[in-house]
Amino acid sequence: MVAFHVLRGVTIPMSAPEFYAGLARRFPERDGMYFLPDQVAEYDKKRMTVKEILQLQLFVTDESSAIQWLKQQLAMKPQTFQELHPQFMKEIGGWNKQEKPLELSELLEQNFLCYDGKEDVPSQIHSYLSTNFKELRKLPKDDLSLKAKAKDRWYIPDPNKAGDLEKLRERALLREFEEYKQYQKKFKSTDKFRLEAVRAGFSKAWHERDYITIINVANKIPENILHEDSKLMMWHDGAVTRTGGS
């Protein structure tokens, strides 16, 4: 859908958080999937016949896959940094050598929320704790013992509240992209850069019709990295076409 809009020079009418919020408002959700009303009834029947839905194994190789891995972990169980960190360290052994390594703390802060114990326990954490701890069942969200158990756990933001978090992350990515714009040389094969920052920068430049910036930064990126990323190639090829290049 993104490619359809980009190739036709049409502005994408909504952000990712807005899209997911719309899905949540319009369709029932089960196990990370969305259904039509008649489909969800059938799925619920089938779901009752199996003990557990197995998640596909994600291989963490870059920032994007790391975020998806964290979403998978936190969807199953809201966790503290201390719980996540040893798992995360085991997963990043195959990190792309040219992708800038990111700390777990940075990934969490830019993409997820941490419960500070002050307000009522968020629904995601409340559901997990009340299901898995007998002593916490049927407790209200403002119960002190529940809040103590929930404190410092990271969780996936509600789609309706994810917009502000997305904006903060985008600002951080664009700040890094500005550094790449100022970089005077072509990236060496040993240089590390943040691919998500390049994607964010290309997207912004495309919407602003700043095709020269896309081409200039693309020329600094090693060709194998550029050609292996379908999103970057989509913006780059579109920019070349619109500037009359080939």
For residue 144, pLDDT over 90 is answered with: yes
Orientation angle between helical segments 195-207 and 63-76, nearest 10 degrees? 100
Are 147 and 204 within one domain?
no
Are 71 and 127 within one domain?
yes
Mean per-residue pLDDT, 58-85: 92
Are 50 and 143 within one domain?
yes
Are 173 and 83 within one domain?
no
With respect to residue 169, please indicate whether it lies within any of the assigned structural domains: yes
Find which of 19-28, 31-40, 237-246 is predicted with most confidence, using mean pLDDT: 237-246
Does 135 or 190 have the greater pLDDT score?
135
Please classify residue 245 by burial: count the beta carbons closer than 10 Å to its beta carbon, then call 0-12 exposed, 13-18 middle and 19+ buried.
exposed
Quote the pLDDT of residue 173. Answer: 93
Distance (Å) of CA 16 to CA 22, 45, 89, 166: 10, 31, 28, 9
Are 147 and 230 within one domain?
no
| 51: DSSP letter | S
Mean per-residue pLDDT, 118-142: 93
The mean pLDDT of the chain is 84
Are 171 and 183 within one domain?
yes
* Band of residue 86 on the pLDDT scale cut at 50, 70, 90: very high
Strand partners, 30: 33
Are 109 and 135 within one domain?
yes
With respect to residue 9, please indicate whether it lies within any of the assigned structural domains: no
Are 77 and 167 within one domain?
no
Between CA 33 and CA 39 the distance in angstroms is 11
Which residue range is the domain that position 117 belongs to?
A: 16-160
- List pLDDT tens digits, range 98-113: 888 999 999 999 899 9
Are 22 and 113 within one domain?
yes
% of the chain surpassing 90 pLDDT: 50
For residue 9, pLDDT over 80 is answered with: no
CB 199 within 8 A of CB 179: no
Are 35 and 60 within one domain?
yes
With respect to residue 127, please indicate whether it lies within any of the assigned structural domains: yes
Are 96 and 137 within one domain?
yes
* Residue at which a domain ends, from 118, 134, 160: 160
Does 10 or 41 have the greater pLDDT score?
41
Distance of CA 246 to the CA centre of its chain: 33
* Residue at which a domain ends, from 107, 133, 160: 160
Distance (Å) of CA 75 to CA 110, 157, 187: 17, 10, 37
**Of the candidate ranges 1-5, 37-41, 98-102, the one whose mean pLDDT is the lowest:** 1-5
Find which of 33-37, 49-53, 232-236 is predicted with most confidence, using mean pLDDT: 232-236
Quote the pLDDT of residue 38. Answer: 79
With respect to residue 73, please indicate whether it lies within any of the assigned structural domains: yes
Distance (Å) of CA 125 to CA 75, 138, 183: 10, 13, 44
- List pLDDT tens digits, range 195-221: 999 999 999 999 999 999 999 999 998
Mean per-residue pLDDT, 117-132: 93
Mean per-residue pLDDT, 216-232: 89
> pTM of this prediction?
0.69
With respect to residue 4, please indicate whether it lies within any of the assigned structural domains: no
Mean per-residue pLDDT, 91-103: 89
Amino acid code (one letter) for 226:
L
With respect to residue 5, please indicate whether it lies within any of the assigned structural domains: no
For residue 16, pLDDT over 70 is answered with: no
* Residue at which a domain ends, from 125, 160, 195: 160
With respect to residue 58, please indicate whether it lies within any of the assigned structural domains: yes
Are 142 and 173 within one domain?
no
Q: How many domains does the chain have?
A: 2
CB 216 within 8 A of CB 181: yes
With respect to residue 6, please indicate whether it lies within any of the assigned structural domains: no
